[in-house]
Chains A and B, each alone.
Chain A
């Protein structure tokens, strides 16, 4: 397997490894700004009171020092409250709560707030989906409710509970500075003859300090006045969440102001006295009369799509369902029913009821290709990436192919698309050292609001991201659907972002939608998985090699089929099997074997098999989508493989299983993507790529080893339902993207990111 060069800009801002929450290293640097602020405030005011006020009390009025004293007291009180008050830190979630959101769960959950889609991101540190407006502060290593920013001048986060004090501190400080400066000026104007005296000199010095601080403080005060009036937090403002969109959290100027100033003090979540349950629970228990609705499908309320996954049983059901994914060659439109059936058969009644919910958008089963909405190429990438990831570490996690509907994303934040989005989307957390961690979040892009330069905007959380990776709690692919979600309907794919990948975010935007369309980045994906982990995040070495070889075989066939129907993809997968068997290169075979090995056992030894989506790989794949897929296969194939004949003998097998699954999944995904995205071929091609991959992986993982659809020979791709004719698959793909594939010939040349060139024989 040709080594993949890390040409791509793996830049993710990998911040320094996060220290575990329990033991935070003492960082004296954190206290410098707050100490300086306190010193200036108290020192200057004291000097003012000592040197200026006596004269003022005598010659102007005694009320002057009293007024200044009161204002100063107010400033101090608010400063102390802002500094010492808990901003609204969420306690870490218990393990029990997290179980359902484990590997399989998507990185984002979408919720509808006043008809606006808002995304809730999975916090790998705190182990829950962050409530709206909540953000994780990397400095404090906590999720804070209604996170505004981390203020270095008070060395504390500003959140729901202490925003009021912070705001009042700013207001009162502005008033105080104006007062000190004004009265100091009055003093100086009356002592122009005695400016060399101590009192005048001190007053002038105090005036200088006051004048110097007035400009930034007043500016900040004005900024926050505007924020309060608009009902936004600093974080939302600087990340441009509502730029051009609607803020779902505003209630009008007056209500916003009164909420900040007059609402009752929000309660503390930490440090509360936990009451032991006093109720004694002892069987026998009362039971309600049996209702026929036990298995009735439940309609999701409140647009919250994700709570299916919140119940343990549902999660297990899902994992089991992954195994039961429909066998070949399901037509794309039949996939849903097939999957549902499969699921039901696998799950318990509880599970089936959950599974039978007919979600308005296909989100529920992230790893289920059928549910992924084709609309997003990105999600496709995610899937493929996840499949890639799965391969790598051999975990059975099914890529959350269908992160689906959740991913409709945050409509009110169209601008997030850019760096922030990439950062957020691409963040992947590694749960286990399984997938290549995408390099950590880049959140760097979002610098967030910082007074002293230390604040970390909630959205970037590089520390969190990289920390998550280092934790290797699991791999969750990043959600990349954000950009795509805007224009596309909600169900467009929830890109397979998994919580486990949350901390890995390829910085170079390979996961972004843009990368799909940019040929040069295509191959990045191919390399992405392996690259990302090492380059961008704290890659997990073992995951790395795994991902490499695996994608290749798949990718290689991909060009043959192009972006055709899932069947083709499946076929590709099938074809891969022989290749795999034939693969002589050690690296190739071993990873495959590893992959297959893991894939085969059905199940589900708990967490691994059930957690396909954890791998960040899918996300990566989905991003660079066709390219990535292709590049990977190309690269790997270069050397040792003999081109696989398009007519594959369907091979059962354990080897091929995962591959075929992924290809089938990818095919499915691709189909959906194509269906949704009526847009040009350029987009289509990539999409096709992705689905093939992710699907294949997903199937393989759970141990089902049945190659999903791949029993057709590549030469006769038959995805009838697929709009893009399979026949064109051969030619479409890589060339559509970009790098310079040589068409028509038996050898295709694809240029990967960073200039690596792959040649594949068609």
Chain B
């Protein structure tokens, strides 16, 4: 659902972008750093931010979990010569959808009112969580992004 042109015109302009990097301390599993970026200090509570990131981390951990579900999926795929992928959605994709929904919900409820916007890390190859900081001016400039 793209915002209408009118919405775009009324969107605030981008002031800066913060990139929350991956946390590799426990390996290559998908985790993001919960360290609170300094640029956000004036815009959002630290707790709020950390909670968002932690939830995301948990969701990604769930996606990558080696459990019965993924094992079954693998067996089924093998048996059907991987044609099952044409009709079935993998576990990871399902969780990714959940994550996308979560991010959108966070944006709507928490981040947008504070002039921030989270970008789904999958768009960046799960390398960073991009947080866009908008200018706090009441001008109606078109978003420059």
Contacts and interface: CB of A to CB of B under 8 A. Distances in A.
The answer to whether A and B come from one shared complex is yes
Interface of A: 73-74, 76-77, 81, 90-91, 93-94, 96-97, 100, 111-114, 118, 128, 131-133, 145-146, 164-165, 168, 248-249, 251, 255, 258-259, 261-267, 269, 272, 274-288, 290-291, 293-294, 298, 300-304, 307, 310-313, 350, 353-354
13 contacts: A113-B27, A114-B27, A263-B64, A264-B91, A269-B122, A274-B123, A277-B117, A278-B1, A281-B112, A282-B10, A285-B43, A288-B42, A307-B21
A286 B71 contact: no
Interface string B127-145: 1101000111110000000
Contacts of B1: 276, 278
Contact of B18 (A114, A248, A269, A311): A311
Nearest to A165: B82
A350 B36 CA distance: 13
A13 B82 CA distance: 41
Contact of B17 (A133, A303, A312): A312
A282 B43 contact: no
Given A113-B27, A301-B35, A279 B108 contact: yes
Nearest to A349: B38
Contact of A265 (B22, B34, B92, B112): B92
A262 B70 contact: yes
A265 B37 CA distance: 32
A279 B114 CA distance: 11
A97 B11 contact: no
B127 A131 contact: yes
Given A264-B65, A302-B24, 19 more contacts: A77-B82, A97-B130, A114-B25, A131-B22, A165-B82, A262-B70, A262-B71, A266-B92, A267-B93, A267-B126, A269-B126, A278-B2, A280-B11, A281-B11, A281-B112, A281-B115, A285-B114, A287-B114, A304-B23
Given A264-B91, A285-B115, A287-B114, A113 B41 contact: no
A260 B22 CA distance: 22
B24 A97 contact: no
Contacts of A277: 3, 107, 117, 119
Contacts of A264: 63-65, 69-70, 73-74, 90-92
A312 B16 contact: yes
B54 to A, nearest CB: 13
A290 B45 CA distance: 10
Interface of B: 1-3, 7, 10-12, 16-19, 21-28, 33-39, 41-46, 63-66, 69-71, 73-74, 77-78, 81-82, 85, 90-93, 96, 100, 104, 107-108, 111-117, 119-120, 122-128, 130, 134-138
A601 B50 CA distance: 42
Contacts of A111: 24
B126 A283 contact: no
B24 A263 contact: no
Q: From DSSP, what is the main secondary structure of chain A's interface residues? A: loop
B33 A275 contact: no
Contacts of B135: 283
A316 B82 CA distance: 50
A76 B83 CA distance: 12
Contacts of A94: 124
A301 B32 CA distance: 11
A638 B55 CA distance: 66
Contacts of B63: 264
A275 B100 contact: yes
A252 B97 CA distance: 31
Contacts of A274: 123
A476 to B, nearest CB: 19
A283 B39 contact: no
A285 B35 contact: no
Contacts of A168: 78
Contacts of A285: 43, 113-115, 134, 136
Contacts of B112: 279-281
Nearest to A90: B125
A283 B134 contact: yes
B3 A267 contact: no
B37 A311 contact: yes
A492 B100 CA distance: 42
A411 B120 CA distance: 33
A293 B123 contact: no
A164 B71 CA distance: 13
B80 to A, nearest CB: 9
Contacts of A255: 66
B115 A259 contact: no
Given A279-B108, A311-B18, A262 B74 contact: yes
A353 B38 contact: yes
A279 B107 contact: yes
Contacts of A302: 23-25, 33, 35
A281 B7 CA distance: 9
Given A279-B111, A279-B112, A128 B45 contact: no
Contacts of A276: 1-3
Nearest to B75: A262
B11 A118 contact: no
Nearest to B2: A276
B16 to A, nearest CB: 6
A112 B22 CA distance: 12
Shortest 6 CB-CB contacts between residues of A and residues of B: A285-B115, A77-B81, A279-B112, A279-B107, A264-B70, A90-B125
Contacts of A290: 42
B123 A272 contact: yes
